[in-house]
Amino acid sequence: MGILGVLLAIGSVVGAVAYYMNDQKENVEIDPYDNYEAILDAATAYREENGELAKKFKKLLPLLPNEPWVNSKQYELSLDGKFLTISGLEEEEATKLINEIGGDSYLNGLVAYVTLRRKNDLSKIKPIAHFTIRPDNKVSTMTVVHYDTAGCIAEDNEIVEKKWENRQTTFREPGVYTVRLKIKDRNGNWSEPFERDIKVTEETGILELICRDSTMFMIYKNGKVLSMSKNEFGQLGIGSLNPSAELKYNAIHDGVDSVVCGEDFCIYKLNDGTLCGAGNNRYGELASGDKNGAKSLNVIWGLENIKQIEAGKHFAAALDFNGNVYVWGDNSENQLMREDIQESTTPIRLDGVEGIKSIALGPNYGFGVKYDGTVIGWGDNTHGQLGLGFKGRINEPTMTLYKNVAMMTAGERYSISVAESGRLYGAGNNAYGQLGSKGKSEMLFPSEILKVKDIAYVKARESLVVAVNHFGKSFIWGNFNTPGTKPILEPEEIVGISYIAHVANNGKKCYFIDNNDTMHIVSDMSGKNETKKVFSNFYDFYDKAK
């Protein structure tokens, strides 16, 4: 045999071996359960790298492990690249495979079409995050923001998780805040983030002035608070018994939108609706579940959606937005309307007091003003202060004789209403002219207080009453309860003080802030009033105090 013959023989043998090896490689027995994950990983990597589905199996080869089965003719991709097709399987094996992998997998004749999407990609509806806020505009540092996710879209409306970024119920500082939301559906699919910018502004000016005894709060519209007190029971809630003789800023009160003061305790309402208490707790005034006093702000649990708070001498009340009233603390005069207890260290809902618009408390009795202008009263009635037409103990909240009422205030054993017309009516003790008339020590029926009209609001404390009309003029009557002062039996206008913006009354002194940022402190009717400079803008005060 010549050299050429030898070469041809060798070539034939090599060719035969190569053919045999290639045939064995393409027809090697496959294990689809093990191979599927590798092919799925390769298909996912291809999609992420190229931004499209692979529609030819050979495109996945560079991304697959170097195993003999990769060239098997049993594997191919569907024309749309969404399925891996596997042929040559027994029907039982193919059925088991598509059932195990699940999703959109199916059997077509002798070919198994296996989905190339991971389980958490199998949602029939792509999840979409969305939210709205209330209010939709004019969000300030005192605004409570409500988030509504009803616009989110998920398969069968089933959202298993929400992931928020920068979501806040209240924003303490002005600025633009970007809030983001992602949702996850039941298949583990996350949506793209939905975001919106919330512009938070800061209102300027004083919101309210509150005082009782030596304690005073000046609340600004931006949620900052100035306070002062002897603080002997820790009623300031600043964590100590340190007194403050002048109004000072304390960051612990940031976000407070209302404060009420009883005897040696205070209840705070934050602008997110949370209630806190601090100070003396001898009768359970702090609604903490015990009688331990507190020098720091202690959260009152179990009360939500609160609209208004009020305090009596040793008890307090809260009104929610549903018109229900809750009370706690001392019950010595039946002010909690419970015959079986002396006090309560937790809030009790008042039965029979519903549909209430606003509340007012005296030392040991209370009122609930309904939306139709009628008034429900409860608690002490020894001087006829509930305006029922009689005096004496009552056993349940009772409709009073007050009518067409816009607001109520209550002092020491007497009460006064502001009618929708701006006229005033009062009932109860009149020993010091608290009801604005001479000659009668008590009035069991609500009687009109003459010489005042067009009243915007009135504040009673102890035996002293102060009222402000719609023109910013102020009137005082009753007793200053300080040595050397005489009762004022009929309303008198305070001369020299006008354009009143805010008033506080502690029963011994009245504090008026006019529109020139001057505080007038009135302790008698001599006209020799003390005055102090205040700041309607918190930052003006803050800069000055530095």
pLDDT at residue 299 in the model = 96
Percent of the chain surpassing pLDDT 90: 66
Q: What's the pTM?
A: 0.74
Q: For residue 238, which phi and psi values (nearest 5 degrees)?
A: -95, 5
Q: What is the CATH number of domain 204-351?
A: 2.130.10.30
Query: What is the C-alpha to C-alpha distance for residues 523 and 480, in angstroms, rounded to an integer?
Result: 7
Secondary structure of 167-208 in HEC code, one letter for each residue: CCCCCCCCEEEEEEEEEEECCCCECECEEEEEEEECCCCEEE
- Asked if 401 and 445 count as a contact pair (C-beta separation under 8 A), the reply is yes
Region 393-400: mean pLDDT is 93
Q: Supply the DSSP string of 407-426, one letter for each residue.
A: EEEE-SSEEEEEETTS-EEE
pLDDT at residue 11 in the model = 40
Query: What is the C-alpha to C-alpha distance for residues 81 and 75, in angstroms, rounded to an integer?
Result: 13
pLDDT at residue 68 in the model = 56
- CATH 2.130.10.30 domain residues, the chain: 204-351
Region 146-150: mean pLDDT is 95
Confidence of residue 65 (pLDDT cuts 50, 70, 90): confident
**In CATH, 132-201 is 2.60.40:** yes
Confidence of residue 1 (pLDDT cuts 50, 70, 90): very low
pLDDT at residue 279 in the model = 98
- CATH 2.60.40 domain residues, the chain: 132-201
Residue bearing tokens 């060719």: 15
Residue 16 has pLDDT above 80, yes or no: no
Pull the structure tokens for residue 366. Answer: 């209370």
Residue 375 has pLDDT above 90, yes or no: yes
Count CB-CB contacts under 10 A for residue 21.
10
